[in-house]
Structure 1
């Protein structure tokens, strides 16, 4: 069953919990494609919180850069959750990778997926304009990447205070 869902929203809006629930409803085992890297104590704590919520019905795949490889390796093996696109984008940009090419490759691959894919991403452009060039470039890139994935998605959900609002 091919299906692509994008769940977006602000920080701590409940995106991941909503995505986890939706992914598990599509079948088990479910594949958690993790893009986070534990560079500091705060990120280690966030990763641990996410891991503690997941039970044995999840198979975790670390893919801080190679989301395409993780999707290829898991296609046909159950629903997948990619958490999250904005961390993947961060990894690409800070590693001086071509995020545009990677994003377009991901976008083009979505219609060819046989198993469902749920993406989590942050809406980062709804607040104050950042004061430095890197933060502004990231904000703009995240908005572009979200638009690309939303265009291919069958459903787009906006998370607000832990509640899913269907956008598409």
Structure 2
């Protein structure tokens, strides 16, 4: 398995860059999406992401059961997970045991045989959030990103649409 971890801020080009990297490999590819559409704007964002993907892509919606969804993908198929930030938010709002679920996710990622591309937001570069839940989320996201980066073969930081190789 080769894991490429792609981090960046909002609208930094993370997803598009990840898609380009995956599409360099032979299809079929699997896109594991973690977003849930709670409003019209999110419906539009999801539709935009789907419209960019052409033939060769299979999409699995996994807003909560990310590790289990990864285990259903054929082992030889490249996978793009987009994104850990939404998955973590979904799980925190569902009062999940984040430490335990992160460990289960890590095991599922490490079990993959084919190339794996994981997208996440870098949320620690801004101001300290003004409420407890937002601070808990920022801290949990930072810990999860560190955990994934530790065993990732490559880490790419996206800045203004430009990929900066951080590791690998």
- TM-score of the two chains, using structure 2 as the length reference: 0.96
Name the CA shift for 1:50/1:84 in 2 (closer, same or farther; >3 Å). same
**Alpha-carbon shift at residue 64 of structure 1 (Å):** 0.5
1:28-86: CA deviation from partner (whole Å, max 9, x where unpaired): 11100000000111111110110111111110000001111111111424100000000
> RMSD between aligned alpha carbons?
1.0
- The number of residue pairs the alignment matches comes to 167
Equivalent residue, structure 2, for 1:38: 37
Unaligned runs of 5+ in 2: none
- Matches for 1:41-52 after TM superposition, within 5 Å: 41-52=40-51
Equivalent residue, structure 2, for 1:129: 128
Equivalent residue, structure 2, for 1:62: 61
Structure 1 CA distance for aligned equivalents of residues 26 and 63 of structure 2: 24
Equivalent residue, structure 2, for 1:116: 115
Q: 1:74 aligned to 2:73?
A: yes
Q: Contact conserved, 2:70 with 2:109, CA < 8 A, in 1?
A: no
Equivalent residue, structure 2, for 1:152: 151
Runs of 4+ in 1 over 6 A off after TM superposition: none
**Alpha-carbon shift at residue 157 of structure 1 (Å):** 0.3
Structure 1 CA distance for aligned equivalents of residues 137 and 60 of structure 2: 25
- TM-score of the two chains, using structure 1 as the length reference: 0.96
Q: Residue 120 of structure 1: SS of its match in structure 2?
A: strand
Unaligned runs of 5+ in 1: none
